[in-house]
Chains A and B, each alone.
Chain A
Amino acid sequence: MYPRWLWPVFALPGVLWLLILFLLPFYAVIGVAFGSVDQILFTPIPAWNPLDWNAGYVSQVLGDLAPGGVYWDVALRTIRYVILSLGGCILIGYPVAYYTARHASRTKTFLLIMLVLPFWISYLMRMLAWINLLSPDGYATRFLSWTRTSDLLLHMHVINDPSNYLSGQSFTVILALIYGYIPYFILPLYASLDRIDRSHLEAARDLGASPFRAFLHVTLPLSKTGLLGGAVLITLPMFGDYYTPNIVSGAPTTSMIGNQIDLYFHGGPQPTIGAALTIILSAFLMVLMGYYMWTIHRASKELPQ
C-alpha cells in the first residue's frame, strides 16, 4: 500500500507554481489597484493589507466603464471584436476539428501536425507576417482582390478600403485575432470530438435520425465541453490583447481595452488605473470562467457512473 500523502505530493509542484507565478502576482495587481503611487517616481505602492485598501481608483474605473464613461466605447468594441472572433473561430475551427477527429484516417497524423505547427512560431512573429501579406501589394490583398472577395466585403460594408487592409480596419483586427488564436481553439475541441463514443451516433442513426439530426442531437451536445473549453481558452487572452490591434491596425478606432491597460502600466503617474482596469477585466472574465466550470461540473454529473 502507498502512504496517504503520496498522491497529494504529486500535486504540490503545480500548486506551488500556481501560488508563486499566478496567485501572488495577481494579488500584487490587486494591491496596486487598491494602493497608492509614489509621487516622485510614480511607482505603485501596493496596499497588501485589505484593511488599508483605497477603493478610489477601482471605483473611478468602474464609473468610466459605465455607459457614457471614457472606457465604455472601447469596452464595447473589445466585446464585439472578441465575440466576432470567437464566432469566426467556431465557424472555421469546428469543421476542421470535426473532420480531423471523425473522418481523417490516413491524414489524421499529418493534420494534427499541421494544427500543432503554429505553436512552433511565436504569436508576434505570426502577426508580423500579416503585415506583408496584407500590405497593398501583398499576396493576401492580391488574392482577396483577384477572387473579388474585397469587392464583396466592401459592398457588405465590412471593410472601407479594399486596397489597404492595414489602414486601421476592424475587419483586419478580427481576422488577425481569429488567425492568432484559432489553434488554441481547435485542439481542445478536437480532443473532445475524438472522445465521443461512435456507438452513440450509431444508435441515433439506428433510431432513424438523419446524419444532420444525429450531429445536432448527439455530436454537438457531446462536444459542448470541448467547445466551451476552446472558447474559454481563446476569449480570456483575447480580452486582454493589445498587440494584435497595434500590429495590424494602429488606429485608435480599433483599439481594445488592453491598449488602455498597456498605456497606464507603461509608465506615467497612474499605474493604479492600469491595475484597476486589470482586476475589473479579470472579474468580468471570471464570470465567463465560472459559467464554464459550472457547465463542466454539470456535464460530469450527467456522465454514467
Chain B
Amino acid sequence: MHPKERRSAATRREFLARTGGAAFALSGASGLLAACSNSTDSAGSTVNSAGQKVGPGGLPLARPDRRVTLPLWEQPIPSGMEPETGGEFTVFNYPAYIYGKLLKDFGNKYNVTVKVTPFDDINSGVQRLASGAVQPDVTEMTPDNLDRVVAGKLIKPLNLDYIPNLKKNVWPSLADPFYDVGSRYSVPYTTYSTGIAWRTDRVKEDIENMPQPWDIFWQADAYKGKTALLSEVRETIAMALLRKGHKDINTEDPALVNAAVDDLKQLYDICNIKVGDLQYETIPEDKAWLNQAWSGDMIAGYLYYIPNKQVGSNLRFWNPGRGVGPIQNDMWSVCSTTKKPVLAHLFLNYMLDNGVAYSNFVNFNGYQPPLTEIDPAELVKKGVIPETLANSVLTSEDLGPDSLQEMTLTSEGQQLWQNGYSSFISGA
C-alpha cells in the first residue's frame, strides 16, 4: 500500500505499534489515545444502492458524457418580483477576480453597496460558507464543488426568468451544462483550459510541437528554479496522468494516482520544481520562465504585467485542446444566506451581459466569459491580445462530451488525491 493511502481508523494494536515507532510519540498520551480508539467514520458511503459511485450527499457524479440534473431542495423564488434595494450586497469570490468598476455600476443601478468578501481558494471558500463564517448574497463556484453545496443546501435554486442573458448570450454547452442540467443552481462565469505558459526568450524548446508537451517539465533541468506547477491538488496530478496517456483525470485508482505523484516527485531533482498560482505575474515579470498555467493567465499577464510589448510578444501558451487537456469553468450561484434573492438573480444576469462580461475580461481579469459574441480572431484584430496568444481563447466546441474536466470525486477519491498532493509537496 502506498504510504499516502489513508486508513480511516486503527485497531488498538496498530495504534500502539505506530505510536511506539513515531518520532514524536508522547508516552503519556498513547495510553489515553489507545483507549479512545473506538470509532470509524472517516469516509461515508461512496456507492449507491445500484453500486454506482456517488458524490457528497449521494448525488450522482456528473461527467461531460454523463449529464446530471440536481434535485431541488426548495422551490426557486417566484417570477415577477421587484429587486431589493438599499444596504449591502456581498459577493464571495477570489480576490481580484472581478472588476470593481462593474460592481460599483451594479450597486449604483440598484442602490446597494456592493462588497467583495474574498477567499483564498474555492475549497476554503466552501468551508467558510458551510461554517456560517460568511453570509454572502452570491458566490463564485466551481462544477466539482457543486454537488457539495447543493447537498449541503448552501446555494439556492435559480429562477431563470430573472436571468435571460443565460440563454441569450452564453455558449450552448454552458447554458445547459452537463453538471447542472437546466442550470438549476448555477450560471457560468469564466472558462479556461490548463496548459503550459512560457517565455520564448528563455525557453528554447518548441513546446507546442513536442510529441508530448507535458514532458517539458521533465526536461527542464536548464530552467531550474524558474519552473513551477499550479498549486492545485487536481491540476498537478491530472497533468502527470495526462503525460502518461491516462485521460481519466477523475480516476480514483490508487495505483494511477500514486504513480502520477511519483512522477511529479522526479521534478525535484530535474528542475527543483516550485508550486504556486502567480504565473500570470511571474512569467511576464521574468521571475519564472516555464509554468503550468490556465489559459486566462497569459492574457491577464499580457494585459497587466508586461513591462513592454517586446516582452508581450515573448509570452506563449500551449492550449492542449479538446479531449487532450483539462478545461474548466467557474460559475456564479445565489447563496442560501442571501436576504436579497431577487437582486442576487439580477446580479447573475448582469454578469452575463455581453458588455459587462467583456469588460470584466479585457479590462480586468483576463479570464474569458463563455459568450457567443467573443471571437478569438476578433480579439486579435482589435489588438486586445497578440496573435501569439490567440490560442488562449476558447470556443464552445472545446467543452463537448469528450472534453476532459476535473469533476467531483467520491469522498474516498478526494482523500486519495489530497494525500497524493500532500506527499508531493512534502518534498520527500
Contact = CB atoms under 8 A, between A and B. Distances in A.
Contacts of B124: 266-267
B406 to A, nearest CB: 14
Contact of B272 (A54, A65, A251): A251
B10 interface: yes
Interface string B2-45: 01101111100011001101111110010001101111111110
Contact of A39 (B44, B123, B225, B423): B44
Interface centre among B22, B151, B426, B428 (most CB of A within 10 A): B426
Given A42-B148, A70-B4, A283 B428 contact: no
B101 interface: no
Contacts of B414: 42, 268-269
A168 B272 contact: yes
A263 B418 contact: yes
Contacts of B95: none
Contact of A73 (B7, B26, B33, B428): B428
B415 interface: yes
Contacts of A66: 18, 21-23
A211 interface: no
A97 to B, nearest CB: 32
Contacts of A283: 24, 26, 29
Contact of B37 (A55, A69, A71, A73): A55
Contact of B426 (A71, A250, A270): A71
B426 A54 contact: no
Contacts of A50: 36
Contacts of B36: 34, 50-51, 53-55
B107 to A, nearest CB: 30
A133 interface: no
Nearest to A284: B24
Contact-residue size bin, chain A (C-beta under 8 Å from the other chain): 35 or more
Interface stretch (B126-134, B157-165, B242-250, B313-321): B126-134
A150 interface: no
A131 to B, nearest CB: 8
Interface in A45-67: 50-60, 62-67
A65 B272 CA distance: 24
B3 A56 contact: no
B411 interface: yes
Interface in B154-211: 154
Given A66-B21, A70-B4, A161-B225, A39 B38 contact: no
Interface in B260-293: 268, 272-276, 287
Contact of B422 (A42, A58, A63, A263): A263
A72 B36 CA distance: 25
Contacts of B228: 250
Interface in B200-246: 224-226, 228, 233
Interface in A245-283: 246, 249-255, 259-260, 263-264, 266-273, 280-281, 283
Contacts of B29: 283
Given A55-B34, A60-B7, A283-B29, A41 B424 contact: no
Contacts of B8: 56
Contacts of B419: 70, 270
B120 interface: yes
A229 B87 CA distance: 50
A48 to B, nearest CB: 13
B307 interface: no
Given A39-B56, A268-B123, A65 B23 contact: yes
A280 B123 contact: no
Given A43-B130, A251-B274, A73 B18 contact: no
Contacts of A62: 18-19, 22, 24-25
B37 A56 contact: yes
Interface string A23-55: 000000000001011111111000000111111
A36 B42 CA distance: 6
A176 interface: no
Interface centre among A43, A56, A70, A161 (most CB of B within 10 A): A56
A42 B154 CA distance: 13
Contacts of B287: 135, 166
A71 B10 CA distance: 18
Contacts of B22: 62-63, 65-66, 69
Contacts of A219: none
B121 interface: yes
A259 B274 CA distance: 13
Interface centre among A38, A67, A251 (most CB of B within 10 A): A251
A102 interface: no
A75 interface: yes
A67 B39 contact: no
Given A36-B41, A59-B14, 16 more contacts: A40-B56, A41-B151, A42-B126, A42-B127, A42-B414, A43-B127, A57-B42, A63-B22, A67-B23, A69-B22, A74-B427, A252-B274, A260-B426, A269-B414, A271-B127, A284-B24
Interface of A: 34, 36-43, 50-60, 62-75, 77, 135, 161, 164, 166-169, 246, 249-255, 259-260, 263-264, 266-273, 280-281, 283-284
20 contacts: A40-B57, A42-B414, A53-B36, A54-B9, A54-B38, A60-B18, A64-B3, A66-B21, A67-B23, A251-B274, A252-B273, A253-B272, A254-B427, A255-B427, A260-B426, A266-B121, A268-B418, A270-B42, A270-B419, A280-B24
